[in-house]
Amino acid sequence: MEWSACTDEYEKLVIRMSTPRVVIDNAVCSTATIVKVDSARKHGILLDAIQVLADLDLLIKKAYISSDGRWFMDVFHVTDQLGNKLTDESVLNYIEQSLGSIHNGKINSSNGFTALELTGTDRVGILSEVFAVLAELQCDVVEAKVWTHNGRIASLIYVRDCDSRSALEDYQKINKLEARLRNVLKGDNDIRSAKTSISNSVIHPERRLHQMMFADRDYERSRIFKFTPETPFVSVQNWAEKGYSVVNVQCKDRIKLMFDVVCNLTDMEYVVFHATINTKDDQAYLEFYIRHKDGTPISSEPERQRVIQCLQAAVERRANEGVRLELYAEDKQGLLAEVMRTFRENGMNVIRTEISTVGGVAANVFYVTDAMGYPADPKIIESVRQKIGLSNLKVKELPLLRQQKTKSEGDQPGGVGGAVLLSLGSLVRRNLYNLGLIKSCS
């Protein structure tokens, strides 16, 4: 690093101390890749580190978080979705470079798109109506993420004008688009106000979805709510001697679980001082020692109950309750409107979706149920596949956590690293391309 003439020794020291030190070790543990991060303690920096791993769809099998004074030490034991260690150098380099620059406050730009934020009451077919409006108003959907939970829906949709291939600039068209979408989201029986807005936010999209659902109070339980074996167990107790509140979460293990929990703790303005994460079979056990930003623990029973409800909601929002369908097809205007209309006409409800466009190809993931929330009938799914295209729409089985390898690494194209690269989202692929770590982002 070159220092300018005006940079004094104190500024050099501050920069060195604020730059995280990253060590990736594949030799110590036989079952996981160890990622160590040492950094100055700063609100939100733990979430930034976990976000890097979450964007790669890595499993965090164990983690140890500890702060000593003004310094954080994070240790993560990570694998790919099949339980394999990471060996691809491009992936390892990306992790090291990304974690080493989180102190810079990296952001996600909109890349010339218009970002739409939508919240409202969830119902069967609502996404069909949303994408039909966008197609009618000549808006091309480039990327989107949609979550549903507890009868509410939140979506972050990146669009561009079909003619100019750039962000929307016509204010009359924008106002018309917002009004039309607000009517769709409100429907006939909206128990709360639907919201539509053009966002200038540069926050990580999945963190933004958590914030939108939290603001929409999706964590509030109805009077008829009943706990089931799948309901995350969350407890909150105070450790008076040390001045901490201790949060325990026990639930089914899955990808991005730690991100979802830490994201909500951070946005609720709690600071994580220490944490331990362990997994066994398909279960995850997370323990956090937290305080408010002002250094005080949780102080009342209503606040304790609110934390419990909010963390249960944070875990449930991404729970996979439906059949995963993957669509890969040449991108064209109105493609999503056609697909969603086919789902709706066959009584299939989309409970979560991730949409991206890379190199002129639409790569979309849908989690679907029937109209009552039960797994969709395989015969109906097959009928829908025939209408959309058997080669385009495929049923994707979710990988079993920590399953035994059935093939050697040499039998898999590109080895373990290749499997990781194939699963990356478009955002991460673009970052790898910009860093020169892969030759093409398509």
Which comes out higher in pLDDT, residue 227 or 69? Answer: 69
| pLDDT confidence bin for 16, thresholds 50/70/90 | low
Check if the beta carbon of residue 318 is closer than 8 Å to that of residue 240.
Answer: no
- Is residue 2's pLDDT more than 80? no
User: Do the domains 20-106+405-442 and 114-204+321-395 sit in the same CATH topology, yes or no?
Assistant: yes
The one-character DSSP state at 375 is B
Neighbouring C-beta atoms of residue 309, cutoff 10 Å? 16
Is the per-residue pLDDT at 421 higher than 50?
A: no
* Percent of the chain's residues with pLDDT above 70: 80
Q: What is the residue extent of each domain of the chain?
A: 20-106+405-442, 114-204+321-395
pLDDT grade, residue 112 (50/70/90)?
Answer: confident
Check pLDDT > 90 for residue 48: yes
pLDDT value of residue 106:
46
Which residue, among 286, 305, 322, has the nearest Cα to 220 in the 3D structure? 305
Share of the chain above pLDDT 90, in %: 63
Mean pLDDT, residues 44-54 = 93
DSSP label at 154?
E
The pLDDT of 289-307, averaged and rounded, is: 95
For residue 258, what are its two tokens?
């730690």
Packed helices 378-388 and 335-345: angle between N→C axes, nearest 10 degrees: 150
Nearest to 211 by CA among 222, 221, 225, 197: 197
Confidence band of 107 (pLDDT split at 50, 70, 90): very low
Question: Considering only 32-41, 106-115, 131-140, which range has the smallest mean pLDDT?
Answer: 106-115
Confidence of residue 417 (pLDDT cuts 50, 70, 90): very low
Cβ neighbourhood burial of 271 (10 Å; 0-12, 13-18, 19+): buried
Q: Count Cβ neighbours within 10 Å for each residue of 366-405 and write b for 16 or more, e otherwise.
A: bbbbbeeeeebeeeebeebbeebeeebbeeeeebebbeee
Is the pLDDT at 420 greater than 70? The verdict is no
Check pLDDT > 60 for residue 409. Answer: no
* Mean model confidence pLDDT for the chain: 84
CB 344 within 8 A of CB 387: no
Eight-class DSSP state of 427: H
Question: 406 versus 265: which is more confidently predicted?
Answer: 265
- Provide the pLDDT for residue 157: 95
pLDDT of 15 above 70: no
pLDDT of residue 243: 93
Closest to 198 measured CA to CA, from 108, 113, 109: 113
User: How many other CB atoms are there within 10 angstroms of residue 86's CB atom?
Assistant: 21
pLDDT at 356: 93
Read off the pLDDT of residues 301-334 as tens digits, 9 standing for 90 and up: 999 999 999 999 999 999 877 899 999 999 988 8
Residue 183 confidence (pLDDT) above 60: yes
pLDDT at 258: 97
Q: Give 237's strand partners.
A: 246
> What is the pLDDT confidence band of residue 202, given thresholds at 50, 70 and 90?
confident
Looking at residue 189, its pLDDT comes to: 64
Best-predicted range by mean pLDDT (98-112, 300-314, 316-330, 409-423): 300-314
CB 100 within 8 A of CB 293: no
Please give the CATH superfamily to which domain 114-204+321-395 belongs.
Answer: ACT domain (3.30.70.260)
Q: What is the pLDDT of residue 266?
A: 95
Distance between CA atoms of residues 272 and 43, nearest Å: 9
Measured between alpha carbons, how far is 38 from 21 in angstroms, rounded to an integer?
A: 5
Q: Would you state the pLDDT for residue 333?
A: 87
Q: Return the structure tokens found at 43.
A: 């609100």
CATH number, span 20-106+405-442:
3.30.70.260
**Region of poorest pLDDT, from 38-42, 105-109, 231-235:** 105-109
The pLDDT of residue 426 is above 60: no
Sequence-ordered list of residues with C-beta below 8 angstroms from that of 287, at least 6 positions apart, any chain: 246, 247, 248, 249, 275, 276, 277
199 compared with 290, residue with greater pLDDT: 290
Amino acid identity for residue 252 in this structure: K
